[in-house]
A = this chain, B = another copy of it.
Amino acid sequence: MMKEEELLKSHISKHNLKVTKERSLVLRVFLDSEPHITAEELYRKMKNDGSSIGLATIYRTLNLFCESGLAEQRQFGDGQARYELVYNVKHHDHLICKQCSRIIEFENQEIEALQEKVAKKNNFKIFSHKLELYGICGNCSEKNDQ
């Protein structure tokens, strides 16, 4: 059994929930998808694969993933929540291209340290943070110049 499956099942049994074929299938497809997927995208993908799962169950299951610590919800400003695997995945932040919607991940330990410094100076305890850089990726820049 995969580590992710174990985490989810541990959360499930701890909260008197049940392992269902829908939950198992959503997990499999979610782990096999590009990161930052929306509920709708996941729904269409599974429909295409012949599943008869309902959209409400996709939403419920993605919420369950977040509650279990497997995934996190992201808002990149396009009005739809995106979900990303965070269990056993190194923390990172995002560059988002406004033109082609490409998402580039990066990590910068100096920034992380400075955030803590800012928090301390303001007598603030950080639980989570959001750092998103919006602009134009290299690909799109080239295309625009041509």
The interface residues of chain B lying within 8 Å CB-to-CB of A124 are 95, 97, 104, 133, 135-138
Q: A116 to nearest B CB, angstroms?
A: 9
CA distance A67 to B84 in the complex (A): 32
**Is there an interface contact between B106 and A122, defined as CB atoms closer than 8 Å?**
yes
- Choose one: B106, B121, B129, B135; the contact of A132 (CB below 8 Å): B129
Copies in the complex: 2
- Is the C-beta of A50 less than 8 angstroms from some C-beta in chain B? no
Do A127 and B134 contact each other (CB < 8 Å), given the known contacts A75-B75, A106-B118, A106-B122?
A: yes
Chain A, interface size category, equals: 20 to 34
| A129 to B77 CA separation, bound complex (whole angstroms) | 11
Complex CA–CA separation, A75 to B74 (angstroms): 12
B135 contacts A118, C-beta separation under 8 Å:
no
Q: Give the docked Cα–Cα distance between A92 and B130 (Å).
A: 14
Task: Give the B-binding residues of A (Cβ under 8 A).
Answer: 75, 77, 95, 97-98, 104, 106, 108, 110-111, 114-115, 118-119, 121-138, 141
13 pairs, A vs B, C-beta closer than 8 Å: A75-B77, A104-B124, A106-B118, A119-B135, A124-B135, A124-B137, A125-B135, A127-B134, A127-B135, A127-B136, A129-B131, A129-B132, A130-B132
